[in-house]
Chains A and B, each alone.
Chain A
Amino acid sequence: MVAVERLVEAYRAFAANGASGAPAWLKELRDGAIARFDALGFPTTKQEAWRFTSVAALTETAFDLAHPASRVPQLAEIQSLLLGDGPRLVFVNGFLARSLSTPLSDGVRLDGLAQALIDAPDLVRQHLSKYAAFTDRPFAALNTAFVRDGAFVHVPAKRTVEEPIQLLFLATPETGGARLVAHPRNLIVIEREARATVVETYAALGEGMYWTNAVTEVVAGDGARADCYRVQRESDRAYHVAVTDVHQGRDSTVNVHVVSFGAALARHDLRGTLAGPGGYLILNGLYVLAGEQHADHHTAIDHAAPHCESHEYFNGVLDGRSRGIFNGRIIVRPGAQKTDSKQTNNNLLLSREAHADSQPQLEIYADDVKCTHGSTVGPLDPKALFYLRSRGIGEVEARRLMTYGFAGEILNRMDVAPLRAQLDQIVRTRLAE
């Protein structure tokens, strides 16, 4: 376990220098997390949750812990990644780049986590690491050990933020430079009856190898509404490992939209907990992969309270020799009566070498519930192809149109217009390749 030792060693250096000024509770949290990571080690394909995804390539590479970048990109370099001039935080290799960020005022807090730890330590302490458990998740443990910066969004009770808030995470790999790992840690708190839309984007300026190990915690208070978008368009050589945990109060609504285009290896663990009655959750995801890409989405919806509703839609478009994995777990706790949960996962194989694994997993401990799931894996429907051709649409264009429509089923649920335009553009470009 050389890789684990190397990281534990890196942690000691980090705790002694970069993190030495932290409050006691945070030091304790970090120490506990690195101890847990040390005990767990990296996952292996012998573990059920990692059966289809080997992280051997990642553990065999020596990554240096990223530091605040000496060079921050110019605004012009990131323009195509932005959603207009709305409120945003831009991070470079995991650290807030204030010069590229646009603040929000008026009682809504939008700042780097490092700054929030100074300005609002009690608020951060109240929520940080309360939702993204790391007992059995080594990457979440590692992220928690290295907690330092990331996005902190706090919308006070009954406030509505109209404009989407963008959180842009940039990697700036340099050819021949050090291979860096960043552990961005995001905390999004939408208090009681408040409302906000948050768009997380992970992207790179440059083509090199790096590792993003992100954790995002989202809290939606009673009657709150959160629309969370997550776009992963890392460099083709990147490793992207992420955990998103959503915690919902009574009568809250959360829509989580996930799009995964990039990285050589991507793994996203997405969990939603419906902790109060009347909660409503949508998980809407799309992965578009080609070449040798490997993306693994493990989702879990935890119905911990009665009268909640959840809908999950994940579509995968797999070309080349890519591999897409979807694991969708639905847990209905004892007493979570009147649960209504639907899950679908459809995979479109555009080449003979592409491969998809789809695994629904239902754990139901209540009797008065409605839970359904369905999954498909297959090529384009030849009947539909002939139908389009019989209308004058050429074969290549017909295939493209059907594939675009398949991706569109997911994209059509997304409401943020400039984001939708960006995603449409990416999908169209990829289909034209």
Chain B
Amino acid sequence: MLEVRGLHVAVNGTEILRGVDLTVKAGEVHAIMGPNGSGKSTLTQVLAGHPAYTVTAGTATYEDKDLLALKPEERAREGLFLAFQYPVEIRGITNSYFLRSAVNAVRKHRGQEELDPLDFLQVLEDKLKAIGWDDTLMNRPVNEGFSGGEKKRNEILQLAVLEPKLALLDETDSGLDIDALKTVAQAVNKLRAPDRSFVIVTHYQRLLNFITPDVVHVLADGRIVKSGGPDLAHQLEAKGYDWLRAGAMVS
């Protein structure tokens, strides 16, 4: 599904990623943990195509395509999705209009017929039902005046409606209370599928109490310094990150 090799990334001339290697197979859930400033968010933003970041070396292959050669919208149409750490307000556009535009952009790319508002409403209702949410956010402008929890929930709703093959979740748990965290985690669990992979970036272990990853990676100082099973997350919770940084130097 995704193969990242020796990825180096800079922003405004400062190198943030210094050779990231990451392989994600279809259906797998990977968690990327690490201290603040380690480059976790940068990795997801680069994979989604944010124009502020410059790839200085390395490759990223997504479904046998050169991911880095694609525009952000092309990546999305090919099935990549980024749940933003800080979802952005779009003034004057209702959530449902925005979502329909996005769904239709993807459908058009796949050679499918675009959905009219009524068809879309049906799709939306089915999705909402599947993840157990109501439609209260749909007729409000995108993210405008949303609480922190509503913004994150809205990201997961978009994920559900756009049906990506690879979903990147950038600190979706930050700023959520425990109930909101559970709601979001349950929705993600329902969306897990054999042909859908997740890369979940998080600073804390607590989200992983509710979403069990297949692989846990630790990103520190712009490199993946350790990878392991779900147990690694518990170790990190207990010991923090410092022991790995030192370990990375000798290994």
User: B-contacting residues of A (Cβ < 8 Å)?
Assistant: 381-384, 386-395, 397-398, 401-402, 404-409, 412
Instruction: Check B162 against A408 for contact (C-beta < 8 Å).
Output: no
Asked if B72 is an interface residue, CB under 8 A from chain A, the answer is yes
Cα of A412 to Cα of B72 in the assembled complex, Å: 30
Cα of A412 to Cα of B215 in the assembled complex, Å: 48
Asked if B249 is an interface residue, CB under 8 A from chain A, the answer is no
Cα of A400 to Cα of B76 in the assembled complex, Å: 19
Cα of A397 to Cα of B101 in the assembled complex, Å: 9
Instruction: Check A393 against B105 for contact (C-beta < 8 Å).
Output: yes
Question: Pick the contact of B88 from A384, A392, A405, A407 — CB < 8 Å?
Answer: A384
A-B contact count (CB 8 A): 80
What are 21 residue pairs bridging A and B, where the CB atoms are less than 8 Å apart in the complex? A384-B90, A387-B84, A387-B87, A387-B88, A389-B71, A390-B75, A390-B84, A391-B98, A392-B76, A392-B105, A392-B162, A393-B101, A394-B73, A394-B105, A398-B73, A401-B93, A401-B98, A401-B101, A402-B91, A405-B90, A405-B91
Of chain A, the residue at the smallest CB distance from B99 is A391
Query: In the complex, which residues of chain B have a beta carbon less than 8 angstroms from the beta carbon of A386?
Result: 50-51, 72, 88
Question: Pick the contact of A404 from B48, B72, B73, B93 — CB < 8 Å?
Answer: B93
Instruction: Check A390 against B76 for contact (C-beta < 8 Å).
Output: yes
Of chain A, the residue at the smallest CB distance from B168 is A390
Query: In the complex, which residues of chain B have a beta carbon less than 8 angstroms from the beta carbon of A387?
Result: 84, 87-88, 90
Whole-angstrom distance from the CB of A84 to the nearest CB of chain B? Answer: 23
Cα of A308 to Cα of B141 in the assembled complex, Å: 29
Asked if B138 is an interface residue, CB under 8 A from chain A, the answer is no
Whole-angstrom distance from the CB of A379 to the nearest CB of chain B? Answer: 14
Query: In the complex, which residues of chain A have a beta carbon less than 8 angstroms from the beta carbon of B48?
Result: 390
Asked if B190 is an interface residue, CB under 8 A from chain A, the answer is no
Question: Pick the contact of B49 from A388, A390, A394, A407 — CB < 8 Å?
Answer: A390
Whole-angstrom distance from the CB of B221 to the nearest CB of chain A? Answer: 26
Most interface-central of A391, A392, A395 (chain B CB within 10 A): A392
Instruction: Check A389 against B93 for contact (C-beta < 8 Å).
Output: no
Count of chain B residues with a beta carbon within 8 Å of a chain A beta carbon: 29
Whole-angstrom distance from the CB of B163 to the nearest CB of chain A? Answer: 11
Given contacts A391-B98, A391-B162, A406-B92, 6 further A-B contacts (CB under 8 A): A392-B73, A401-B93, A402-B91, A404-B93, A405-B92, A405-B141
Cα of A406 to Cα of B91 in the assembled complex, Å: 6
Question: Pick the contact of A408 from B73, B93, B158 — CB < 8 Å?
Answer: B93
Asked if B65 is an interface residue, CB under 8 A from chain A, the answer is no
Cα of A381 to Cα of B92 in the assembled complex, Å: 14
Of chain B, the residue at the smallest CB distance from A391 is B102
Most interface-central of A382, A391, A398, A401 (chain B CB within 10 A): A391
Instruction: Check B72 against A408 for contact (C-beta < 8 Å).
Output: no
Cα of A394 to Cα of B49 in the assembled complex, Å: 13
Query: In the complex, which residues of chain B have a beta carbon less than 8 angstroms from the beta carbon of A412?
Result: 92
Query: In the complex, which residues of chain B have a beta carbon less than 8 angstroms from the beta carbon of A383?
Result: 88
Question: Pick the contact of A389 from B49, B90, B109 — CB < 8 Å?
Answer: B49
Q: 8 smallest A-B Cβ distances: which pairs?
A: A405-B92, A408-B92, A392-B76, A405-B93, A391-B102, A392-B105, A387-B88, A389-B72
Instruction: Check A392 against B106 for contact (C-beta < 8 Å).
Output: yes
Query: In the complex, which residues of chain A have a beta carbon less than 8 angstroms from the beta carbon of B158?
Result: 391
Whole-angstrom distance from the CB of A428 to the nearest CB of chain B? Answer: 13
Asked if B82 is an interface residue, CB under 8 A from chain A, the answer is yes
Instruction: Check B101 against A381 for contact (C-beta < 8 Å).
Output: no
Of chain A, the residue at the smallest CB distance from B102 is A391
Asked if B231 is an interface residue, CB under 8 A from chain A, the answer is no
Whole-angstrom distance from the CB of B251 to the nearest CB of chain A? Answer: 35
Query: In the complex, which residues of chain A have a beta carbon less than 8 angstroms from the beta carbon of B81?
Result: 390
The 0/1 profile, CB within 8 Å of A marked 1, for residues 93-108 of chain B is: 1000010011001100
Whole-angstrom distance from the CB of A396 to the nearest CB of chain B? Answer: 10
Question: Pick the contact of A391 from B71, B76, B109 — CB < 8 Å?
Answer: B76
Query: In the complex, which residues of chain A have a beta carbon less than 8 angstroms from the beta carbon of B49?
Result: 389-390
